[in-house]
Structure 1
Amino acid sequence: MIVKKIQNLFLILITIFAASCSSGTNKNGGSKSHLPVARGEANAILCVMDTSQWNGPIGDALRDIFSEYVPGLPQDEAYFKLRNINPLKMNNILKTGKSMIFVSTMDNQGAQSRAMQNYFTTSSLEKILQDTSLYRLPQKNQFARGQEILHLFGQTGDQLIAHLKRDKEVLRNYFLNIENERIAKGLFKVREKQIEKTLRDAHGFDVQVPYGYDLAKNQRDFIWVRLLDPEYEKNIFVHYRPYNSRDPFDDVLAFREEITSSYMRDIQKPDIFMTLQTENMNIREVNFKGKYAKEVRGLWKLSDISGGGPFVSYVFVDESQKRMYYLEGYVYAPSKDKREFMQEIEVILNTFRSGEELK
């Protein structure tokens, strides 16, 4: 019943915008293939909405969703960079933004809000006024190729705010998934196929390895791949063992310390090893590739305090292999923002496959 209701809701929403948003042509009747290419920096969203609403409670609700700081980073970095666009000042350049949000409510009748309502057909406005459950609709390639737009609307500002607060994670994940897909498209154009073959043949799991990564360590139950640049490092390591105890789930930080103190030691100076910074740890239960997992986001350091940075890790069990896995990605990038580096690391980790997934 729930699935059917969701399907019906999207059918209604698609019908609402069909008159003004044909998937095959632009508003002038031309093919979408002739549209300009969408442009914009990574993790940036243009918010087209009345500036008075942007500076009020609706804008606050949007910032609470999209400008929240990413957990586990050494400095404050937001999920997204938001920029308000006055709808009266929209031009052809701004319309080519990669990611855009169009926000309007029927109870605001200022000049900017009236301009926003021009994006709706008469029948769509009637639907919005009749059904308070309708408040969002995604669109692709409306003004540019590769563009993602999310329309957010409501009868009143308070009504829209209630929807935004209720679906905070859903709305943020919508654009997070879009950004991750964009990253993956460029990241995996060329891959280290020989390393991938080694992981599969010798260890029984897959991870897509982008071009430029090297196999730094390959042991019976531990692998480490890394990309070294003069200004930064990107690293992925995987440890696995037979699953016979839930202890690692009970104390994932102790489990990590056990792994890194054993495998992540300096070859030239073996008394130096990777450990944890105790502050800024974020641990939660998640669904990782369909499996129950513990996710940790936090900060690592070397035991002599000569280096450090952010990491993200997952502990989970593959029942078909009767294995417990520990996956981690971490970055070393002194004096640089870490948000986009860690985003790339997460995209790589999410290509992991094992056991029955490989068949």
Structure 2
Amino acid sequence: MNKTHFLCLLASIMLFSCSEKKSKRTTDISGKINTVSVIVDDQLWNGEVGDTLRNKFASPVLGLPQEEPVFSLNQYPVKLLEGFMSNSRNIIVIKKEDKSQFRIKENEFANPQVVVHISGKTVQEILDTIQNNDSLIIQKIKQSEIKILQDQIKEDSLIDSQKITDKFNIKINVPTKYKMVMHGRKFIWLKKEITSGNLSLVFYQIPFSSIKDNTNTINRITKIRDSIGNIYIHGAVAKTRMITEASFSPYLSKTTIFGRETFETKGNWELKYDSMAGPFINYAIKDEKNNRILVIEGFCYAPSKQKRDLMFELEAIIKSVQFLKKK
């Protein structure tokens, strides 16, 4: 083999190797939903830094009947970062070193991926950085997880959503495992059966003036959803109906869905005169152009299961909604 042929062969091998690494970088991803790999040495993990990380990122999810963490945290020493941990979907890297930094980098080692880098000269610097950026980190990871789940849902076979479109002039991606169990003039109820329980999605619309942004907002949303339960959502036992659990005050916040201001309400539901209960997440989406508020709610009944990821599936589906132009 002459020198020219050898150099061509070597270049081809290197090109193939780089291409293979690049391909692996964009496809070889691991990790369960809402799980974060924390790359930090044991000394920091077992001290104030670890306590702060757990308090911020493994605090209880609002609106669930039992305590479940916002994220499941798995800790690994820094030396493992160069290995398989770099393929985790969500990574927080904590280092004590001379350079102080905070940055969030997407798809650094794989795709899709969120990698958070935090370093400081002292433990206090690290703690301050976590304290000042915890909300942003949670937001970035949640947005990424929602997008990943929505992409997975798209790859699944979706229901024929024409009835939903006809009633509400929207498009939404819902897997075929959800079946229509009831529909009214401006109401639809979809349900998915799971082991020892089910997940539900309900759609309805109300006049734009029905909910105002004031101190009475949460009470108004509760009253409306209870009236919908009274009309449509009943149990097998006579006179049972869905209501908002009276002993558990729902949580209200604001968000944006498809560019529209939205009230997000999380809490627990129960069947009056029955023992069934579970969590719900309710989105009241302002649609001023059409003088209405579109409400999409997800709720689950799963007494023997963890509910965080079940509710996260419902949230991802709801947030895929798109408002269509009038024909």
TM-score, with structure 1 as normaliser: 0.77
Match of 1:64 in 2: 55
Q: Are positions 1:214 and 2:179 aligned together? A: yes
Partners of 1:216 and 1:283 in 2: CA distance: 28
The one of 97, 105, 113 equivalent to 1:138 is: 105
Q: Are positions 1:276 and 2:249 aligned together? A: no
Give secondary structure in 2 for the equivalent of 1:60. Answer: helix
CA offset at residue 147 of structure 1? 4.0
Give secondary structure in 2 for the equivalent of 1:192. Answer: coil
Query: Which runs of no fewer than 5 residues in structure 2 stay unpaired?
Result: 1-14
Deviations 1:35-69 (A, max 9, x none): 47122222221211122111222222222221011
Q: How does 1:48-127 map to 2 (within 5 A)?
A: 48-88=39-79, 92-106=83-97, 125=99
CA offset at residue 225 of structure 1? 1.0
Match of 2:269 in 1: 300
Partners of 2:169 and 2:140 in 1: CA distance: 32
2:61–2:68 Cα contact (<8 Å) kept: yes
Which letter does structure 2 place at the counterpart of 1:217?
M
Partners of 1:245 and 1:312 in 2: CA distance: 19
1:226–1:235 Cα contact (<8 Å) kept: yes
2:114–2:140 Cα contact (<8 Å) kept: no
Partners of 1:90 and 1:205 in 2: CA distance: 44
Match of 1:252 in 2: 221
2:264–2:281 Cα contact (<8 Å) kept: yes
Change (3 A) 1:246 1:137: closer
Partners of 1:309 and 1:44 in 2: CA distance: 23
Change (3 A) 1:145 1:283: closer
Match of 2:167 in 1: 202
Partners of 1:43 and 1:64 in 2: CA distance: 16
Change (3 A) 1:273 1:179: same
Change (3 A) 1:87 1:241: closer
The one of 276, 283, 286 equivalent to 2:254 is: 286
Change (3 A) 1:56 1:206: same
CA offset at residue 156 of structure 1? 3.1
Give secondary structure in 1 for the equivalent of 2:252. Answer: strand
Give secondary structure in 1 for the equivalent of 2:92. Answer: strand
Partners of 1:269 and 1:334 in 2: CA distance: 18
CA offset at residue 91 of structure 1? 6.3
CA offset at residue 316 of structure 1? 3.2
CA offset at residue 141 of structure 1? 4.5
Match of 2:33 in 1: 42
Match of 1:315 in 2: 284
Change (3 A) 1:199 1:30: closer
Partners of 1:135 and 1:178 in 2: CA distance: 19
Match of 1:22 in 2: none
2:255–2:261 Cα contact (<8 Å) kept: yes
2:282–2:296 Cα contact (<8 Å) kept: yes
The one of 22, 35, 42 equivalent to 1:32 is: 22
Q: Are positions 1:336 and 2:326 aligned together? A: no
Change (3 A) 1:299 1:146: same
Partners of 2:207 and 2:112 in 1: CA distance: 44
Change (3 A) 1:229 1:41: closer
Which letter does structure 2 place at the counterpart of 1:33?
S
Give secondary structure in 2 for the equivalent of 1:348. Answer: helix
Identical counterparts, % of pairs? 23
TM-score, with structure 2 as normaliser: 0.84
Partners of 2:171 and 2:111 in 1: CA distance: 32
Give secondary structure in 2 for the equivalent of 1:212. Answer: coil
Give secondary structure in 2 for the equivalent of 1:209. Answer: coil
Which letter does structure 1 place at the counterpart of 2:91?
M
1:318–1:355 Cα contact (<8 Å) kept: no
Change (3 A) 1:87 1:190: closer
- State the Cα RMSD in Å: 2.6
Deviations 1:218-266 (A, max 9, x none): 2111111111234221100011123234468352211211111112124
Task: State the aligned residue count.
Answer: 306
Q: Are positions 1:178 and 2:144 aligned together? A: yes
Query: Which runs of no fewer than 5 residues in structure 1 stay unpaired?
Result: 1-24, 108-124, 129-133
Partners of 1:262 and 1:140 in 2: CA distance: 48
Deviations 1:72-101 (A, max 9, x none): 111110011112212245563334323221
Match of 1:152 in 2: 118
User: Mean Cα displacement is larger for which, 222-231 or 343-352?
Assistant: 222-231
